[in-house]
Amino acid sequence: MTTDNEFVAGLPLPLAHLSWLVGSWVGLGVGGEATKDAFRFAQEVAISCDGRPFLTHVARSWLVDDDGQRTKPTAVELGIWRPLSDNEVVLQLTHSYGYSETLTGKVEVTALNNAEITGARLTLRTSRVMRPDDTPVYRGSERLIGLVENNLLWRLDALFDNDQPVAHVSATLAKVQR
């Protein structure tokens, strides 16, 4: 029998299936894949736990020039990852563009090494969007996130004003060792 006081990998037991996300991640990505307005960006993501059974999420992005140097801040996301049963998860995000969304999905662990998750994937889909009237139409997204060869890979396909998701942004992030 388990209790709420049990920890795995330094996290409360309910977060064990999300342990691979914890850390600071940095890297480069591309956007506008489905349009003629392609761009490159840098991103920093910090996912952490203060001992309670949820993770905090802070992501910041900047446009970059051809040399990979940051030129202009673009987006900020603030969020909470909440575990559910059977490796499921809820991610609640607030975006600097003015909307908030709730995404749900399920973690699939693809590799373990000495009880540490070394490979995983997660598909999240928007279940709710709240947005003020003055923000652009955004109806949700599908996000694919994976841990592959110690890198965090992610892709976001967005629903704007049509019924089909379009490729929007993707990135490869490396974990920052502290």
Which pLDDT tens digits describe the chain residue by residue (178 residues)? 345 567 666 799 999 999 999 999 999 999 986 666 889 999 999 999 999 999 999 999 999 999 989 999 999 999 999 999 999 999 999 999 888 999 999 999 999 998 899 999 999 999 999 988 777 777 889 999 999 999 999 999 988 776 777 788 999 999 998 6
Task: Give me the amino acid identity at 134.
Answer: D
CB contact at 8 A, 131 and 98: yes
Q: Flag whether 27 is in a domain.
A: yes
18 burial (CB, 10 Å; 0-12 / 13-18 / 19+) is buried
Instruction: List, in sequence order, every residue forming a beta bridge with 88; answer none if it has no partner.
Output: 106
**pLDDT tens-place string over residues 92-131:** 999 998 889 999 999 999 999 988 999 999 999 999 999 8
Q: Flag whether 19 is in a domain.
A: yes
What is the domain extent for residue 79?
7-175
Report pLDDT for 6: 75
Q: Flag whether 42 is in a domain.
A: yes
Instruction: List, in sequence order, every residue forming a beta bridge with 172; answer none if it has no partner.
Output: 28, 153
Q: Flag whether 126 is in a domain.
A: yes
Domains of the chain: total: 1
d(CA 105, CA 91): 8
Report pLDDT for 1: 37
Q: Flag whether 133 is in a domain.
A: yes
Report pLDDT for 108: 97
Report pLDDT for 53: 95
Q: Flag whether 1 is in a domain.
A: no
> In angstroms, how far apart are the furthest CA atoms of the chain?
56
Give the predicted TM-score (pTM) of the model.
0.90
Report pLDDT for 7: 64
- Tell me the CATH number at 140: 2.40.128.20
d(CA 152, CA 23): 10
Report pLDDT for 5: 62
Q: Flag whether 2 is in a domain.
A: no
Q: Flag whether 24 is in a domain.
A: yes
User: In this structure, what DSSP letter does residue 19 have?
Assistant: G
